[in-house]
Structure formats: C-alpha cells, structure tokens
C-alpha cells in the first residue's frame, strides 16, 4: 500500500454477474447428460457440438428452475421471453455464438437483503436470464485440448445492480445468493466444480460523487474468498492509478490466486461487439401466471425464514441462527438433532465452533448420527461432562461413530464434582507451583488462571471448572 495515496477519499462501486449451473439431468437444448467429471467429449451431440443442421429444443425444466430462482430473489417475471445469439469467437464455443437472452430475460428488478459488518443492506438484482455454458479448454504441455461436455449445460446469469461498496458486502451478497440457490435446489453451487462462477465489475469514484467511473470486469472467480480479495486488490489498483494521474481503462481482467493480483486479459467489450440478434432457430416462450403460481406454491422455506425459526424455537443468537441456516444440509441436521436434546445452544456451539475445527469436510462433520450428538449435548448440559471433555469426546465420535455414553464410560470421563477430591488436586498443584503463587501475591492476577488450568490438567480435564475456579480463589485468599 502506497502511503502517499489517499485511499480514504474514494469509494468503490461494485456489481456481480453470477453464473449458476442449473440442476437438470440434461442440457438446455438437447438430451445430453450434465454429469460432472465424465470422460472428455462423452456428453455431447450434434446440437451442443454446433454441427450444421442440428436444431435446439428448449428444456422446459430450465424455465421452471429459472422462475423458481427469480421468485426466491424477489424478481418480476416476464411473461414473454426470447432467445438471443451472443456472437464471439473462442475455441470452446463451437457454434461461434452462445444462446443467451438480452432484451427480454426471464426476470428483472429483484433484490437480496444482506448483513455486512452488522449493517443490513438491500442489494438490487437487475435481471436473471437463461443461457448455455461454453466448453472447457484443458491446457497441457505443448497443447490445448477442448472438452465439449460442458457445452450446452444450462445456466442462469444473475446480474446485480451496482449497489455494493466494499468487498465485504460483495462476499455477503455472494454467500446469501449461494444459500438461496441451495435451499431452492436450483443449483448445487459447487464453486470448486465451476457450477457457480462470479464475474465482478469494479469502478471507483470520489466519496460524495453520484456518477460512475470507468469499470473493469474480473472474470470467472470461483470462491467467495477470492472474490473479496480480487475486489480489494482492484479497488486499490484503480485508486493508485487515479492518484498517480493516470486513467482507469475499460478492461477485462483475471484474478491470479497465487500472486493475489488482477492481470489484463483483454480490452473490455460492449454489447455492440457481440452483435446480439434474436435466435431464428428457437421460438419465443411464454411464462403463464398459472405456471408461476404452481412454482411459487412449491417454494421451500428460505434461509432467512429458517434462521428466524431457529431463533424463535431454540433461543439462538441471530448470527448463530443465520450461520446454521446458511445451507440446507446444516439446517436439516441441526433441526433433527435439536429435537432430541434440551440443550440446543450447546448443539449450535458444537456445530459452529468445534466441528469445523475437527473436520473441514462438512459431509464428514454431519455424518455423526443425530442421536449421538444430541446425547453429547445432554451429557454436557446436565453437568455429567464439562465442555473440555465434550470437545475430546466429539473428536472421537467423528473418528469412531461411537455413542458418547460408551466413550465416556470406557474412558472414565465423567465430571468430578466432589469438592474434597478437587480440593486435594488444588493443594497438590499449589505445592508444585510456588512461583505462580508468588506471582499472584505480587499482583500478577493472570497467575490464578494458570493455576486453574494446572488443576484441570491434573484431573484430566474432568474436574468441574466452576468448582476449580472457586477453590483456587479460596486457597489464594488464605495465603494472602
């Protein structure tokens, strides 16, 4: 960061274009499968390979999922839609055009409510349209290969309004959007597999200005964290250009994950460069009110409502409830286990704070049977084991799938509540740690916590922590 640059004089204007692969069994305009990871070029046909004379036929499931997403994102559905050809040349686009939508998309004028830095904000959605995905280039030593399996996989592109001002807001928007798409079943949103990809538009302006600066687009970012990092870097880069007397140019850039910078891909195109025109091979399609009503009636409970339910039913803090409701798998798991315990707050703490530390694999973390994790909460909540022991038991449960009652019994982990046994351990620790006692007498109050920790260690973490703290305090007062 350049100390001579006045970064605080500027604000960013940020918009996201999110491409989500739809959860259909077949492609948007043909009957080829959409399975991820199939051998190269085994899921393509004359239609998605762009062979002359092959005609596309619209997959009706694509419209249903696009409408479902549009309703979940508070959009206005267009009753009449057309397909447009977006013309450009690239090796992974065999037809030399992409079938998309320009003037009459599926939906417009929606919004998402986000929370960033404890501030709520509404982010507008400009439009949602359907389109086909391109193929994939595979770069190997001395050659670039083309895999057409992804050609024709159905996408929705969700274009936000330029309402975000920070990388944190953009990350919150992307997380919320991902959560909604997961809950509705519109997309599996596996960013590591490319089923959710993000293009970021960034410009800067002086604080207080209302106009827009020259924007750059950062293409195909495949994680929330990288999206935030790319935005932060690009904001800084543009401010330094302007402060240095140079102009920001309209460019398409990529984010280099290893270097943490954005680099130039090409000069930015405009809509005119793509020479859009209505696709002559596909008729317009209508979306009836009856169809919209049918899809609306099948709408699942969305994450915000799920979080409110957790707060109301289980007394969870709003932030914890929102985190538990961020994915359907986590929300379903919590709800099922919470029904089996009187201590839902302990369950929330284990799921949010302890399980992610033990295992970064969410599927593995949620593999513990509901009954087992509920029993662990009951053991801790009733005082039969303390929180320290609970953590170690949870780790073993994840490794062995054993019930916590069996683990606690076999390893003798029941909490020690007898004050006489704990006092004996306290006196032994005091006798072996005269320096800590001397430090406490000299005003170093942190020494008391050190002694508590040593007593807990001496009892294998089984002593009642509250009783330990009280007895340590009592013994220190006697010495003084």
Give the tens place of pLDDT for each residue, 348-367: 999 999 999 888 888 888 99
Of 93 and 269, more confident: 93
Do residues 198 and 230 share a domain? yes
Cα 245 to Cα 162, 241, 248, 262, distances in angstroms = 25, 6, 10, 20
Q: What is the mean pLDDT of residues 48-56?
A: 93
3-state DSSP assignment of residue 93:
coil
**Region for 74 from its dihedrals, namely left if φ exceeds 0, alpha if ψ lies in -120 to 50, beta otherwise:** left
Q: Which of 353, 378, 411 is the last residue of a domain?
A: 411
Do residues 370 and 462 share a domain? no
pLDDT of residue 480: 66
Do residues 70 and 109 share a domain? yes
In a domain, 197, yes or no: yes
pLDDT of residue 142: 87
Q: What is the CATH number of the domain that holds 436?
A: 1.10.10.410
Residue range 377-407, pLDDT digits in tens: 999 999 889 888 899 999 999 998 899 999 9
Angle (nearest 5°) at CA 451 between 448 and 456: 130
Q: What is the mean pLDDT of residues 363-372?
A: 91
Do residues 238 and 357 share a domain? no
Do residues 62 and 170 share a domain? yes
In order, the DSSP letters of 7-71 are GGGEEEEEEEEEEEE---SB-SSSS-B--TTPPTTSS--TTTTT-TT------HHHHHHHHHHHH
pLDDT of residue 161: 98
Q: Which of 202-206, 252-256, 475-479 has the lowest mean pLDDT?
A: 475-479
Do residues 204 and 330 share a domain? no
Per-residue confidence at 141, pLDDT binned at 50, 70, 90?
confident
In a domain, 2, yes or no: no
In a domain, 1, yes or no: no
pLDDT of residue 355: 93
In a domain, 71, yes or no: yes
pLDDT of residue 3: 67
Which two tokens mark 72? 């979940």
pLDDT of residue 267: 81
In a domain, 323, yes or no: yes
Do residues 175 and 58 share a domain? yes
Do residues 201 and 265 share a domain? yes
Do residues 130 and 49 share a domain? yes
Do residues 65 and 207 share a domain? yes
pLDDT of residue 365: 86
Per-residue confidence at 187, pLDDT binned at 50, 70, 90?
very high
pLDDT of residue 346: 97
Domain that holds residue 472: 419-479
pLDDT of residue 435: 86
Do residues 19 and 154 share a domain? yes
pLDDT of residue 361: 82
In a domain, 441, yes or no: yes
Q: Which of 68-77, 240-249, 429-438 has the lowest mean pLDDT?
A: 429-438
Overall number of domains in the chain = 3
Do residues 389 and 425 share a domain? no
Q: What is the mean pLDDT of the chain?
A: 93
Q: Which of 226, 259, 294 is the last residue of a domain?
A: 294
210: Cβ contacts below 8 Å, ≥ 6 apart:
none
**Region for 53 from its dihedrals, namely left if φ exceeds 0, alpha if ψ lies in -120 to 50, beta otherwise:** left
Q: Which of 294, 313, 339 is the last residue of a domain?
A: 294
Residue range 265-314, pLDDT digits in tens: 988 767 678 899 999 999 999 999 999 999 999 999 999 999 999 999 99
pLDDT of residue 1: 64
Q: Which of 65-79, 110-124, 233-247, 445-459 has the lowest mean pLDDT?
A: 445-459
Identify whether the C-beta of residue 88 lies closer than 8 Å to the C-beta of residue 275.
no
Burial of 23 (C-beta count, 10 Å sphere; 0-12/13-18/19+): middle
Residue range 143-164, pLDDT digits in tens: 999 999 999 999 999 999 999 9
Identify whether the C-beta of residue 252 lies closer than 8 Å to the C-beta of residue 43.
no
pLDDT of residue 218: 96
**Is the pLDDT confidence value at 17 over 90?**
yes
Cα 37 to Cα 26, 102, 156, distances in angstroms = 15, 31, 21
pTM: 0.87
């Amino acid at each position: 960061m350049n100390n001579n640059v006045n970064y605080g004089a500027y604000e960013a204007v940020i918009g996201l274009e999110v491409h989500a692969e739809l959860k259909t069994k077949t492609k948007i305009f043909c009957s080829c499968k959409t399975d991820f990871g199939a051998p190269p070029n085994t899921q393509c046909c004359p239609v998605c390979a762009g062979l002359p004379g092959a005609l596309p036929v619209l997959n009706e499931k694509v419209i249903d999922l696009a409408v479902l997403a549009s309703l979940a994102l508070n959009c206005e559905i267009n009753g009449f839609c057309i397909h447009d050809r977006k013309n450009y040349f690239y090796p992974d686009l065999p037809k030399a055009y992409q079938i998309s939508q320009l003037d009459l998309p599926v939906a417009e004028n929606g919004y998402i409510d986000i929370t960033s830095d404890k501030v709520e904000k509404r982010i507008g959605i400009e439009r949602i349209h359907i389109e086909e995905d391109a193929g994939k280039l595979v770069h190997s030593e001395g050659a670039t290969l083309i895999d057409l399996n992804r050609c024709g996989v159905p996408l929705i592109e969700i274009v936000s309004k330029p309402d975000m001002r920070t990388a944190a807001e953009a990350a919150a928007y992307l997380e919320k959007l991902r959560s909604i798409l997961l809950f509705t079943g519109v997309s599996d949103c596996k960013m590591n597999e490319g089923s959710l990809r993000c293009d970021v538009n960034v410009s800067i302006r002086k604080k207080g200005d209302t106009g827009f600066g020259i924007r750059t687009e950062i293409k195909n970012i495949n994680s929330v964290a990288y999206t935030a990092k790319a935005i932060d870097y690009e904001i800084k880069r543009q401010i330094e250009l302007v402060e240095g007397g140079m102009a920001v140019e309209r460019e398409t850039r990529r984010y280099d994950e290893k270097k943490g910078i954005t680099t130039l891909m090409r000069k930015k195109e405009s809509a005119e460069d793509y020479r859009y025109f209505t696709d002559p091979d596909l008729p317009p399609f209508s979306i009836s009110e009856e169809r919209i009503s049918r899809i609306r009636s099948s709408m699942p409970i969305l994450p915000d409502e799920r979080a409110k339910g957790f707060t109301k039913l289980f007394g969870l803090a709003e932030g914890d409830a929102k985190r538990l409701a961020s994915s359907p798998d986590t929300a379903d798991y919590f709800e099922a286990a919470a029904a089996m315990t009187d201590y839902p707050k302990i369950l929330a703490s284990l799921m949010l704070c302890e399980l992610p530390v033990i295992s970064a694999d969410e599927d593995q973390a949620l593999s513990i049977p509901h009954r087992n994790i509920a029993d662990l909460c009951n053991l801790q909540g009733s005082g039969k084991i303390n929180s320290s022991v609970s953590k170690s038991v949870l780790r073993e449960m994840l490794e062995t799938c054993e019930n916590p009652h069996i683990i606690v019994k076999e390893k003798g982990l029941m909490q020690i509540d007898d004050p006489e046994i704990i006092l004996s351990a306290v006196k032994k620790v005091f006798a072996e740690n005269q320096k800590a006692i001397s430090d406490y007498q000299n005003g170093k109050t942190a020494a008391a916590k050190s002694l508590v920790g040593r007593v807990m260690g001496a009892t294998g973490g089984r002593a009642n922590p509250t009783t330990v703290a009280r007895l340590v305090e009592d013994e220190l007062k006697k010495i003084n």
